[in-house]
Amino acid sequence: MNTDLLPLPGRLPAGIERFPVTACGSPAPCPVCHECAADCADCVVCERDACPHCRVPDLTPRTATMLVVAGLTLAHDLRTAMLASARPVFRNHLARAFETLTEALERGERPRPRSLIEQLCLHLMIRYATDLACDVGETLCANLPYSDYDYYFYRLYDTLLPDDRHEPYVEETVRTRGCERVFDFDHLAEVVHRSESSWVLFESTVDAN
């Protein structure tokens, strides 16, 4: 991991703090479940997503920050090795997809993948951010507000990704070497290059969703 790229505490994009830290957002009890005071963290109804008024946040400032760091790092690594790669154009497409998703988060917006390649990249960002949160989360997010919903990355696969059509490509990218998880973009590039339907990765999925 290129730790020189990681944002320093206090220098994160201002848009990150637009993401919520509580579910209710109001000091008054919820009119439906009546268990919430300032938050839904201890409410059994909200925990089961059974209340239409209380939505447990999937993206908090700290969770979004880990996704940003993951996206920046993966994009940087792709561009660093681009000239030495046999598939530099494909690497450029991947890097740009990571950057597009990251830019949305930096503005305080939910990332909305518009193609299978962006779905794949967002999936990889979630996977990488899960590891990063354990390693450097507390350091990078020291100045950000705390939430009881921080780092629930497993929810993001359902809330941010519209479907699972990209998942076969995840299996071609994520490899394990010893005890370390690595992202083998060169192997992915070769798999896509050999595929007769590789164009589907870059086709817009906005209308379909």
How far apart are alpha carbons 40 and 36 in whole angstroms? 5
Segment 132-149 mean pLDDT: 88
Give 39-96 pLDDT, tens digit per residue: 777 777 776 767 777 777 899 999 999 999 999 999 999 998 888 888 888 899 999 9
Compute the distance between CA of residue 164 and CA of residue 73 in angstroms, rounded to an integer. Answer: 24
Q: 145, exposed or middle or buried, with CB in 10 Å at 0-12, 13-18, 19+?
A: middle
Cα(135)–Cα(174) distance, integer angstroms: 19
Angle at 64 between CA 61 and CA 69, to 5 degrees: 120
Q: What is the pLDDT of residues 26-46, one digit of tens each?
A: 555 677 777 676 677 777 777
Whole-model pTM: value is 0.86
